[in-house]
Amino acid sequence: MALTGRQMKIIEYIHAHGSVKSGDLMRVYGISRQAAGKELMQMVVNNVIRIEGKGRVTRYVMA
């Protein structure tokens, strides 16, 4: 499976910080919440990352 450039940046962010939230992506990469969610969910479906928590405390970590 090939990752997009944005998804590679998300992986780099997770490696540097341990996890990522959609708000982090919005702030760091200047993308909308919808775009951040779409990238993250695509990575979850492909088993690249996994979800921890629910609601406002949802974080994404490496699978």
> Of all helices (H) and strands (E), which one includes residue 60?
strand 59-62
Q: Whole-model pTM?
A: 0.89
- Both structure tokens of 18: 């341990």
* Ranges of each domain in the chain: 5-62
How does pLDDT run along the chain (63 residues), one tens digit per residue?
789 999 999 999 999 999 999 999 999 999 999 999 999 999 999 999 999 999 989 999 999
Cα angle 14, 20, 51 (rounded to 5 degrees) comes to: 100
Identify the pLDDT of residue 24.
Answer: 96
Burial label for 41, CB within 10 Å (0-12, 13-18, 19+), is middle
Class of the CATH domain delimited by 5-62: mainly alpha
User: Max Cα separation, the chain?
Assistant: 30
Identify the pLDDT of residue 2.
Answer: 87
Cβ contact 50:63 at 8 Å: yes
